[in-house]
A and B are shown apart, each in its own frame.
Chain A
Amino acid sequence: MPDQPVGPILEMRGITKGFFGVPVLQDVDIDVRPGEVHAILGENGAGKSTLMKILAGAHQPDAGTMVLDGQEVRFGHPIEAQNAGVSIIYQEFTLLRDRTVAQNIYLGREPHRGPFVDTAAMERATDELLRSLNVEAAIRPNRAVRSLSIAQQQTVEIAKALSFKSKVLVMDEPTAALSPREVAALFDLVRLLRERGVAILYISHRLREIFDIAQRVTVLKDGRRVGTLDVAATTSRDLVKMMVGRDLDHYFPPHAAPADVGEARLAVRGGGVSGLLHDIHIEVRRGEILGIGGLAGSGRTELAQALFGVRPFDQGEVEVDGKSVRVRSARQAVRRRMGFVTEDRKIEGLVLPLSVRNNSLLALRSLGSFLRRGSGGIPVAELLRTLELRGAGLEREVRFLSGGNQQKVVLAKWLACEAQILIFDEPTRGIDVGAKAGIHDLMRQLARNGAAILMISSELPELIGMSDRIIVLRNGTVAGELPAGSAESDIMFLATGEQDVAGAA
């Protein structure tokens, strides 16, 4: 029975991994037993995802061993891991939208007679899998994946994992995009799998879920294991402490003095985007950094996109420098001297095959006359030197730069066109510690020079260390506002709506 201690089915010992000399995981041990849900808790950048990718065969560890079912294993390819009984369900699903449920589940290993796919057998097997998950009524094997909801697609991913006779199932933030009702359904499924003896590694940073579903929890921080606890014997207070208790090794520039903060440069009243955001009231003032916190799926990125006209508000009013404006496209936003440092640099921030210079001048040129070559006398080299962009010539293609340097090029793009209202979405994600401090300093300096900055961050220390005020989002609206230097638990309380966590303060 699940609660009885049995030997672990999977043990990972001394797992160490670095990328380009930056350590991401150091000597991490973790094990999971059959019929157990073992939660892995940690902030962004704590190393959860890397650990799981190593387990699933997508990365190779630099050091450490993995023992599955008493045998030492090494997975060179995700297929090897799956065949050995280890499956992972990523946040981004890997389903083919135009194929049916059955075709997706059995892709690459279709039941066949000779060269012919035995569709009947495949759909029968799929139906059995779906039946075993009690979802056979809602999800039919011959339905196209594109017609399924997100939650249903996730169920298909789970069914696919089960079809490999998985002994270990990894779920990476499975509830991020689900409604409360769908979360409840997912948990029913997870309990079902547990009863069947599947070992589940459950990655989340929602504390409540861990108490709902997990038996043990391991907390990771900065690539190291802080500890492993029985959930029954712990409180959320302990977990929060383990997660956030840290050495203050990171320096943040001083907050804005009250005198530095001026009038509102950007204001939203009653803003909403149907289905995503509602009743948003926000003001960002000259000289301040307004932090936006909240869990994944709370509407953080959607807010940034609405402000910047990518997916514009369809309700409410927006004012820039006291004037009511409509921002219906990114182009209009840039023309109102707004800048957007997006979360995904490579997809939304940079044109990878272009040079550092041309990326830096991209926004400025969009403002300039078509037939001029505007750098408007902007000394790009100077600008980049101020940003301390080292080791990269102006003509170098940005695809060859490190993450930190790429982020500086993104910043240079908005500095060059003198953006006055800057939106940062996870400004230091995937950037090493040294470069982080540089970017933080720069943000503060921008604010001091009169810019209004809105910073979205899921890293609590950054949110607290950088923000002059913090607004926390929950379920697509503002859950509350906190002053500079608030406790992490206060933010967690607003983000989750959990009393228990608030008690930890």
Chain B
Amino acid sequence: MSGGVAPVAPAGPSAAFSEDSEGTLGGRLWRGLRGAGPIFIVLAVLLVLIVLKNPNFAKPTVFLGFFKAAAPLAILAAGQLFVIVAGEIDLSVGSLITVVVTSSALMIAGKAGMTLPVIGVVFVIGIVVGLVNGVVTTRLGVPSFIATLGMLLVLSGGIFYLTGGAPRGSLTPEFRMFGRGNIDHVPLIGQLPISVVILLVVGIVAWWLLHRTNFGQALIATGGNARATELAGIDVKFVRTMAFVLSAISGVIAGILLGGFAGVSAQVGQGFEFQAISAVVLGGAVLGGGRGSIPTTIAGALTLQALFTLLNLYGFPGPLREVVQGVIIIGAVAFASFRLRGAR
């Protein structure tokens, strides 16, 4: 505060009360856990159950393999959170993943030198997709459900065009390295999957963006009350558009990882949009906006993945996993809405 208007004593010794005094790290962590705790507890319980059934799971390689498999969904969920926290929804990311994988295979066609340029191209595609989603939603006033549904159709048309049903071309080992490769000879744990490193980096950047920048705060405020946020001088339309761009970028990254991990197919991204939304909701975010956090969202994605692993271990037939998934998602949201009502 310069010698301006506000009748506020100059900051100084009182800095203990300033922005930086959100409390000690421990206090902050505790608040975060208390605010969004249940999902971490659920995740921990699931992981313990997995280890009990299969002690091998506790080995670093296997344990990290779990994270490796979960990385694409977790990254996608982190991206989706930006959109959901702003009060919107993005249904187009699943087909974007497929576009990324099939178009990369087509463009690279096994030529190692093409890997980096093609990665650049798919990022551009993603950004364009996000911009279009955002502009159609904010400028044309189309509900994001419909706008991104339209994008889903356009992209799946694009996939057909590229593949004609059966994907052509192939990915190089350099490209597939991101999703399936490991960093060898890491002390203590031996192998560290590259995708886990990417997940960590994406997670930290997303956390920083949402929780530690003006942009993130503006986004959360927009989802909480767009009118009041606009009157506080924030360009709500721009902020929302950027959320769609971030969601699309997360789709591109998830696509690159899946291309390496799962290989090239025209179905690779199918259903991922709903899984990502489920993970976000499991992580405690509210559809309609205003609430959500990156750590709990990633925990939500890991929980979903742990659930699949566990059901697998206990010999559940694959499809029944979906039954459990459905029950759990509904239960989680019912629980959250009950808690929100109770918190008065």
Contact = CB atoms under 8 A, between A and B. Distances in A.
A395 B235 CA distance: 25
Interface stretch (B17-25, B40-48, B91-99): B17-25
A377 B214 contact: no
B31 A395 contact: yes
Given A442-B7, A445-B7, A369 B214 contact: yes
Contacts of B18: 375, 377-382
Contact of A373 (B9, B214, B224, B233): B214
Interface string A353-382: 110011001110111111111110111111
Contacts of B233: 330-331, 333-335, 363, 366-367, 417
User: Which 6 A/B pairs are nearest by Cβ-Cβ distance?
Assistant: A334-B233, A381-B17, A375-B19, A366-B233, A351-B224, A415-B6
Interface string A82-108: 000000000000000000000000000
Contact of B231 (A330, A335, A415): A330
A378 B215 contact: no
B225 interface: yes
A382 B14 contact: yes
A349 interface: yes
A340 B231 CA distance: 8
Interface residues of B, number: 39
Interface in B1-58: 1-2, 4-9, 11, 14-15, 17-19, 21, 31
Given A365-B217, A371-B214, A353 B228 contact: no
Interface residues on A, range: 35 or more
A81 B228 CA distance: 36
Nearest to B209: A371
Nearest to B340: A353
Contacts of A418: 1-2, 4-6
Interface in B169-198: none
B213 A451 contact: no
A19 to B, nearest CB: 16
Contacts of A349: 228, 231
B234 interface: yes
Contacts of A419: 5
A415 B344 CA distance: 29
Contacts of A334: 232-233
B290 interface: yes
A383 B8 contact: yes
B5 A450 contact: yes
A375 B248 CA distance: 30
A190 interface: no
Contacts of B8: 379, 382-383, 386, 415
The residue in B1, B220, B231 that gathers the most chain A C-beta atoms within 10 A of its C-beta is: B231
Contact of A310 (B15, B209, B231, B290): B231
A418 B14 CA distance: 19
B322 interface: no
Given A354-B220, A354-B290, A449-B7, A378 B19 contact: yes
Given A368-B214, A370-B215, A371-B215, 11 more contacts: A331-B234, A334-B232, A353-B224, A354-B220, A366-B214, A374-B214, A377-B11, A381-B18, A413-B232, A415-B6, A450-B5
A348 interface: yes
Interface string B209-231: 10011110110110011011111
A402 B18 CA distance: 24
Nearest to A400: B344
The residue in B1, B214, B290 that gathers the most chain A C-beta atoms within 10 A of its C-beta is: B214
Nearest to B21: A381
Interface string B236-259: 000000000000000000000000
Interface string A219-234: 0000000000000000
B291 interface: yes
B31 A379 contact: no
A360 to B, nearest CB: 10
Contacts of B224: 351-354
A379 B7 contact: no
Interface string A325-338: 00000110111000
A401 B143 CA distance: 33
Contacts of A372: 213-214
Contacts of A395: 31
A39 interface: no
A373 B217 CA distance: 8
The residue in B11, B227, B230, B232 that gathers the most chain A C-beta atoms within 10 A of its C-beta is: B232
A445 B15 CA distance: 23
A348 B228 contact: yes
A22 interface: no
Contacts of A374: 214
A308 B227 CA distance: 14
26 contacts: A331-B230, A331-B233, A333-B233, A335-B233, A347-B227, A347-B228, A351-B228, A354-B221, A354-B290, A366-B232, A370-B214, A378-B1, A379-B17, A379-B19, A380-B18, A382-B9, A395-B31, A413-B232, A415-B7, A418-B5, A420-B4, A420-B5, A445-B7, A446-B5, A446-B6, A450-B4
Given A351-B225, A380-B19, A366 B5 contact: no
Contacts of A348: 227-228, 231
A442 B11 CA distance: 19
Contacts of A350: 225, 228
Interface in B304-332: none
Contacts of A335: 233
A416 interface: yes
B214 A379 contact: no
A126 interface: no
A340 to B, nearest CB: 6
Interface string A145-181: 0000000000000000000000000000000000000
